[in-house]
């Protein structure tokens, strides 16, 4: 008997979080039928979370976009590519010739590095608009800004993830990694197995808290106060040993004098004894590691919060240590690469600055234009969306769903509806696509080539396994088609993807995020952590050793400016976040039968009782920005002064968040701390809906 032949396989990267696990796709008759985790993956080490394992279902979903859709008589109807591009030619062509500043571009942290690069080039060279930004502004922008301001460099983790297992103290500050970055849990457990101590610092006891074992449930938005209180005690206890000479050290230490334990415990809403226990653990640790997530960063003072933790790590001598110091846990699949190569409003490829004359000249030479042809920085993400329907008449959205993900989503939806032209490139009909004037069917993760960069700066290949269905096209080809349609094809006539990829690698040469030593062939041999400056040279696993890429090689410790804290127990605060079975705006995961989850309002049982609410009953939540009605879930591990909503559904969290207030440094909206009121709903709710939510979330 002849042995059955093995199915052909293609190795690629997961489409979800910033761990970027590797797995093999097994193909049968040209279609993926199975996912197998790659055992020699340098990060996940043979693990893939349930979202990654369920990703194949997205490829076959009946909602998949396979033809362009053009709005006619109020309805989106299928059309051919020639008609779709004729629409672009007719409406955008004249606009970019006369008023390019009336056109905006909104990108995504899920794009490959090559698409990120091409989108920035497309905005500035083909459209000549200054207004381009992306949804990563809603993710790790505050940490990115603080790192750049302090040490001139932004790599979420300056060391390989495996080093995390060698830390003897890990502070997870607003970071629920068990649900958002599950494969990292193996390193958390490794640290604990070696005797390390792990704290989950979060207003609610999450799944991560159970593994961490120690929970500090501070008031939302007070993480920076905690950092200043820890620095105060390190100074009192003689634990100040700066990593290296830097600017601002004396001022930072003097600022901490104003944050004694009594004040910090009161403002953070925690027992003073718990604060002192955490401080002693930090003082005694040889390799403490502070990891911030969105809980600490998504505030109008998020940059200052991160700065406070950076100052703490730097002044106690731990910043830049392998497995120690400070790091930010990037969330989106290519959140790291997505913030390096030009889709940010102030950025050019290689993490260059659009404001720097030298950087502008370098990129103009590569692109064959004059430095003066490149626009100056335009609106950042939230301001760009708020300008729609007024200053911005046309918006192109690639791989993002701001109708759900933007702060103040109700207001933002109205702004998008007020546009004359909304062009969306996507592979599923997101809520943003559903209000578009033109929808162009793009490619999914295994239908395209490219590279992604994970949260430790590791660049990996994404390989094409199948062809996009129907009339769908690879996103990079669509951008080139659009450039031709607006009458500016020069620089967008790549014969093959490899031609684009090689140009992208060259474009980063000399930048801080230098990928110029990479190639598809080198990445076939092994992944590499940037910077990689030479084809035969090394990569850079450890990024934050002095000296730093600043004007004088020194760090600058800026003084964090934190708002006054209202410690009233009568005020309820809304905070937002993710669920383990969902991802970002839910465009994919809400459609996936293997990833069921419910939109609910989580609150402490005492909070519910005070408002006359029981589990499963509907409650209307109101803020100054909007309202929504959801079933109640009782969560004993949540602070009684805090209400938690997931943001994966259009009718939930971001209807209530502030669309107008942003961090002055990072332009991050204030997602995580919004005053909210609760109102029981005096109506009968269908039993089927109520029953689905009669549950208590355990501590």
Which CATH number covers residue 433?
3.40.50.740
Per-residue pLDDT at 571: 86
Higher pLDDT, 347 or 53: 347
* pLDDT range class, residue 567, cuts 50, 70, 90: low
Whether 258 and 295 share a structural domain: yes
Output the domain CATH number for residue 245: 3.40.228.10
Residue 233's pLDDT is 98
Please report the pLDDT score of residue 6 as a whole number. 65
- Same-domain pairing of 408 and 496: yes
| Residue 112: band (very low, low, confident or very high) from pLDDT cuts 50, 70, 90 | very high
Q: What pTM did the predictor assign?
A: 0.94
Instruction: Give every CB contact of residue 87 below 8 A, 6+ residues apart in sequence.
Output: 70, 437, 438
Residue 565 confidence class, pLDDT cut points 50, 70, 90: confident
Cα separation, 473 vs 85, whole angstroms: 13
Angular region, 135: left φ>0, alpha ψ -120 to 50, beta rest: alpha
Backbone angles phi, psi at 132, to 5 degrees: -140, 135
264, 356: one domain:
no
Average pLDDT over residues 64-82: 97
Position 564 scores a pLDDT of 85
pLDDT at position 589 is: 87
Q: Which domain holds residue 217?
A: 142-328
Helix (H, G, I), strand (E, B) or coil at 386: helix
Contact indicator for 52, 415 with CB cutoff of 8 Å: no
Does position 586 have pLDDT exceeding 90, yes or no?
A: no
Same domain for 319 and 345, yes or no, is: no
Do 478 and 453 reside in the same domain of the chain?
Answer: yes
Tally of domains within the chain: 4
Tens digit of each residue's pLDDT (9 = 90 or more) over 315-368? 999 999 888 899 999 878 899 999 999 999 999 999 999 999 999 999 999 999
Residue 335: name the closest of 112, 1, 179 by CA: 112
Residues 256 and 302 in one domain: yes
Say if residue 153 is in the same domain as residue 273. yes
Q: How confident is the model at residue 47 (pLDDT cuts 50, 70, 90)?
A: confident
Q: Judge whether 495 lies within some domain.
A: yes
Question: Pick from 273, 302, 328: which residue ends a domain?
Answer: 328
**Using 50, 70 and 90 to split pLDDT, how confident is the model at 690?**
very low
Rg value, the chain, Cα: 25
Average pLDDT, the chain: 93
| Cα–Cα distance for residue pair 578/179, rounded to 1 Å | 8
Neighbours of 9 (CB within 10 A): 16
Same domain for 45 and 88: no
Confidence of residue 569 (pLDDT cuts 50, 70, 90): low
In a domain, 559, yes or no: no
Supply angle C-alpha 559, 565, 571, rounded to 5: 155
Quote the pLDDT of residue 74.
95
pLDDT band at 53 (very low <50, low <70, confident <90, very high): confident
CATH number of the domain to which 621 belongs: 2.40.40.20
Residues 167 and 307 grouped into a single domain: yes
Residue 3 carries which DSSP code?
P
Question: What Å distances lie between residue 372 and 124, 364, 493, CA to CA?
Answer: 11, 9, 23
Q: What is the pLDDT of residues 367-398, one digit of tens each?
A: 999 999 999 999 999 999 999 999 999 999 99
Q: Is there a domain that residue 450 lies in?
A: yes
Asked if the structure places residue 415 within a domain, the reply is: yes
- Greater confidence (696 vs 50) lies with 50
Can the peptide bond before residue 547 be classed as cis, meaning omega within 30 degrees of 0? Answer: yes
At how many degrees (to 10) do helices 272-284 and 223-236 cross?
60
The strands making up 450-453's β-sheet, listed across from edge to edge, are: 450-453, 458-462, 528-529
Chain segment 502-550, per-residue pLDDT in tens: 999 999 999 999 999 999 999 999 999 999 999 999 999 999 989 999 9
What pLDDT does 691 receive?
31
Q: Return the CATH number at 48.
A: 2.20.25.90
* Residue 3: pLDDT over 70: no
Residue 497's pLDDT band, with cuts at 50, 70 and 90, is very high
544 part of a folded domain: no
Q: Lowest-pLDDT range, 82-91, 438-447, 505-514, 593-602?
A: 593-602
Q: Is 673 contained in some domain?
A: yes
pLDDT single digits (tens) 437-494: 999 999 999 999 999 999 999 999 999 999 999 999 999 999 999 999 999 999 999 9
Residue 184 has pLDDT above 60, yes or no: yes
Cα–Cα distance for residue pair 219/211, rounded to 1 Å: 21
Tens of pLDDT, residues 130-143: 999 999 999 889 99
Q: Out of 21, 40, 59, pick the residue that ends a domain.
A: 59
Tokens, residue 135:
């949804």
Q: Where are the alpha helices (DSSP H) in 368-474?
A: 381-386, 402-405, 409-417
Is residue 107 one of the residues assigned to a domain? yes
Are both 391 and 443 inside the same structural domain?
yes
The pLDDT value given to residue 317: 97
Give the model's pLDDT for residue 582: 87
Q: For 614-669, what is each residue's pLDDT tens digit? A: 999 999 999 999 999 999 999 999 999 999 999 999 989 999 999 999 999 999 99
Spatial contact of 200 and 172, defined as CB atoms under 8 Å apart: yes
Domain boundary among 292, 307, 328: 328
296 with 416, same domain: the answer is no
Same domain, 46 and 105: no
699 occurs within a structural domain? no
Q: Quick one: CA torsion of 534, 155, 577, 695, rounded to 10 degrees?
A: 80
Whether 610 has a pLDDT exceeding 50, the answer reads: yes
């Amino acid at each position: 008997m002849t042995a059955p032949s093995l199915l052909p396989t293609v190795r690629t990267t997961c489409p979800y979080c910033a761990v970027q696990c590797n797995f093999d796709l097994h193909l049968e008759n040209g279609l993926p039928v199975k996912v197998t985790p790659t055992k020699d993956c340098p990060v996940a080490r043979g693990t893939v979370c349930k979202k990654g394992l369920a990703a194949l279902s997205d490829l076959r979903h009946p909602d998949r976009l396979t033809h362009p859709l053009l709005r006619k008589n109020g309805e989106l109807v299928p059309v051919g590519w020639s008609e779709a591009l004729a629409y672009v030619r007719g409406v955008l062509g004249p606009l970019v010739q006369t008023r390019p500043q009336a056109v905006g571009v909104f990108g995504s942290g899920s794009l490959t590095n090559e698409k990120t690069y091409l989108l920035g080039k497309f905005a500035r060279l083909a459209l000549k608009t200054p207004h381009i930004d992306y949804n990563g502004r809603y993710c790790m922008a505050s940490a990115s800004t603080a790192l750049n301001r302090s040490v001139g460099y932004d790599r979420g983790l300056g060391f390989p993830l495996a080093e995390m297992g060698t830390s003897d103290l890990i502070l997870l500050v607003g970071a629920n990694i068990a649900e958002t970055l599950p494969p990292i849990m193996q390193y958390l457990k490794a640290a604990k197995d070696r005797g390390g101590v792990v704290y989950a610092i979060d207003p609610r006891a999450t799944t991560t808290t159970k593994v961490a074992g120690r929970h500090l449930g501070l008031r939302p938005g007070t993480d920076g106060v905690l950092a200043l209180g820890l620095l105060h005690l390190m100074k009192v206890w003689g634990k100040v040993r700066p990593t290296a000479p830097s600017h601002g050290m004396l001022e930072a230490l003097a600022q901490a004098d104003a944050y004694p334990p009594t004040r910090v415990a009161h403002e953070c809403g925690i027992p003073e004894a718990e604060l002192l226990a955490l401080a002693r653990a930090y003082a005694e640790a040889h390799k403490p590691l502070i990891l911030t997530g969105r809980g600490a960063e998504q505030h109008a003072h998020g940059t200052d919060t991160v700065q406070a933790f950076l100052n703490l790590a730097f002044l106690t001598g731990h910043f830049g240590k392998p497995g120690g110091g400070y790091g930010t846990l990037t969330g989106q699949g290519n959140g790291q690469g997505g913030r390096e190569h030009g889709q940010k409003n102030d950025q050019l490829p290689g993490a260059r600055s659009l404001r720097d004359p030298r950087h502008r000249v370098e990129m103009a030479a590569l692109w064959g234009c004059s430095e003066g042809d490149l626009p100056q920085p335009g609106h950042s993400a939230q301001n760009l969306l708020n300008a729609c329907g007024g200053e911005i008449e046309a918006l192109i959205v690639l791989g993002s769903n701001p109708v759900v993900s933007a702060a103040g989503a109700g207001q933002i939806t109205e702004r998008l509806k007020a546009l004359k032209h909304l062009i969306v490139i996507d592979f599923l009909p997101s809520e943003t696509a559903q209000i578009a004037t033109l929808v162009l069917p793009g490619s999914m993760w295994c239908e395209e080539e490219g590279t992604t960069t994970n949260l430790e700066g590791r660049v990996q290949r994404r390989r094409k396994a199948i062809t996009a269905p129907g009339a769908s096209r690879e996103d990079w080809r669509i951008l080139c088609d659009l450039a031709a349609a607006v009458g500016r094809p020069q620089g967008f006539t790549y014969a093959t993807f490899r031609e684009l990829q090689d140009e992208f690698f060259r474009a980063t040469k000399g930048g801080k995020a230098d990928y110029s030593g990479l190639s598809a062939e080198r990445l076939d041999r092994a992944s590499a952590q940037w910077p990689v400056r030479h084809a035969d040279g090394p990569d850079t696993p450890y990024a934050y050793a002095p000296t730093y890429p600043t004007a004088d090689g020194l760090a600058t410790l800026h003084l964090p400016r934190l708002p006054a804290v209202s410690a009233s127990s009568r005020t309820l605060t809304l905070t937002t976040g993710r669920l383990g079975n969902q991802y970002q705006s839910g465009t994919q995961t809400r459609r996936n039968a293997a990833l069921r989850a419910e939109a609910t309002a989580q609150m402490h049982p005492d909070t519910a009782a005070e408002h006359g609410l029981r589990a499963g009953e509907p409650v209307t939540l109101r803020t100054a920005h909007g309202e929504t009605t959801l079933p109640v879930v009782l969560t004993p591990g949540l602070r009684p002064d805090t209400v938690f909503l997931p943001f994966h559904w259009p009718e939930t969290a971001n209807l209530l968040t502030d669309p107008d207030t942003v961090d002055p440094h990072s332009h991050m909206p204030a997602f995580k701390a919004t005053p909210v009121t609760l109102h029981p709903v005096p109506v009968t709710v269908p039993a089927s809906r109520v029953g689905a939510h009669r549950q208590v979330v355990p501590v």
